[in-house]
C-alpha cells in the first residue's frame, strides 16, 4: 500500500458490486449523507455503467474522488465527503 492510501483510510466501505444504476449511486449518496464532513467512503463498483456514472454523479454532488483503482475485475473508488456550507 502506498502512503497516499494510508492517509486516506476509509471511515466506511460499501460493496455495490452487482447493484445496477441508479441504485448504486443512490446508496452511495445516502451513505455519504450519513457521514461527517471530510470523512472517507470506499465504494466497490462493477465495470461498465457503474464506474462511468457513479464517480461523475458523486463529483456533481460536490464530493471529491480521492482515488479510483481496478481491484479483481471491479473498481474501488475512494470518496471524501464534502463539507456542508
Q: Any catalytic annotation for residue 21?
A: yes
Q: Which residues pair with 46 in a beta bridge?
A: 74
Quote the CA–CA distance of 63 and 68 in Å, as a whole number: 14
* Grid coordinates belonging to 75: 473498481
d(CA 43, CA 45): 6
CA 70 to the chain's CA centroid? 13
- The single residue of 8, 17, 21, 22 carrying the catalytic annotation is 21
Q: Looking at the annotation, which residues are catalytic?
A: 21
Amino acid at each position: 500500500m502506498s502512503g497516499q492510501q494510508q492517509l486516506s483510510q476509509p471511515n466506511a466501505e460499501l460493496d455495490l458490486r452487482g447493484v445496477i444504476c441508479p441504485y448504486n449511486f443512490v446508496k452511495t449518496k445516502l451513505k455519504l449523507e450519513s457521514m461527517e464532513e471530510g470523512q472517507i467512503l470506499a465504494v466497490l463498483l462493477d465495470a461498465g455503467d457503474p464506474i462511468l456514472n457513479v464517480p461523475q454523479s458523486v463529483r456533481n454532488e460536490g464530493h471529491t474522488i480521492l482515488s479510483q483503482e481496478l481491484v479483481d475485475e471491479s473498481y474501488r473508488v475512494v470518496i471524501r465527503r464534502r463539507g456542508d456550507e
